[in-house]
Amino acid sequence: MILHTEKLVFIHVPKCGGTSIEYLLTRMPLLAEHSETDDVIFSENPELSKIFPLKNRHGFRSEYEAFLERGPEGSKSPYSYFTLLRDPRKVVTSQFRYRKKMSHLWKHKKNGPVRKIIRRLMYQSFLLYSLQRIWKKMIRRSLFTTHYDRFLPSYEAYLKPSDGISSTPTNVFFLEEVSEDSKRLMNWLKEKNVRAEEFPRKNVTPKTKTGPSIFHRFLVYVLVRKEIKLYEKLRYESLERPVLFTG
């Protein structure tokens, strides 16, 4: 997401509170309701391409950089980058609950009736859902870097600059902290000329009885241990101020 007037780029990592930020920055209800898939939203609202040039709400920083104005060679970018991150274990669980809640919106015209039944069953069990996503990623040979599969989003892939090292770091905030006290984030946004008083909680998926057991939590930990290490490192560095991720 790019706001050219404020020279601000928000990197929306899946299931990390990004919908709330998008609503906060635009005040567009259609970005917060999730009553339609993103494909439908962008096709029916072409004006959004100015804010979302990728026509996708989840884009890597390196992808956004291609759409930004560049200053003189060697100078610092006039744009500021920021993102919200979340405990990766909670991301995986939240992704399942979101898919379970929204499964009726995904229409698969090319799928036969048997495959549709299988997909419906997949959203009834966290274990079946996990195994299906793991298998799919292994087949693609891209376990932690696949862009359009939100099950295991790679924080490093989303935040890494296109040149690997950049003089303009990404300011990282954390959903757990912002949900309890959003003062630090709100003050930072005001410095960027964004009017913000409080953090709006949008697209919050309610908890369900169908959730991860102890075995499932262990399975998730094994899968996202790389992301957990990075997340904990960044959290430790951000005790006094938003951490700066440079790749």
pLDDT in tens, 4-18: 888 899 999 988 888
Distance set, CA 193 to CA 53, 78, 153, 226 (Å): 22, 14, 30, 35
Q: Tokens for 120?
A: 């419906």
The pLDDT tens digits for 202-242 are 666 655 444 556 766 777 777 778 888 888 888 888 877 77
Residue type, 39: D
Comparing C-alpha atoms, which of 192, 161, 155, 160 is closest to residue 174?
155
Residue 83: predicted pLDDT: 93
User: How far apart (Å, rounded) are the C-alpha atoms in residues 61 and 57?
Assistant: 12
| Averaged pLDDT for residues 24-50 | 81
| Averaged pLDDT for residues 144-151 | 50
Asked if residue 85 lies in contact with residue 155, where contact means CB atoms within 8 angstroms, the answer is yes
Buried b (16+ CB within 10 A) or exposed e, 195-223: ebeebeebbebeeeeeebeeebeebbeeb
Residue 210: predicted pLDDT: 46
Q: What is the mean pLDDT of the chain?
A: 76
The pLDDT tens digits for 156-190 are 888 888 775 566 888 999 998 888 888 888 888 98
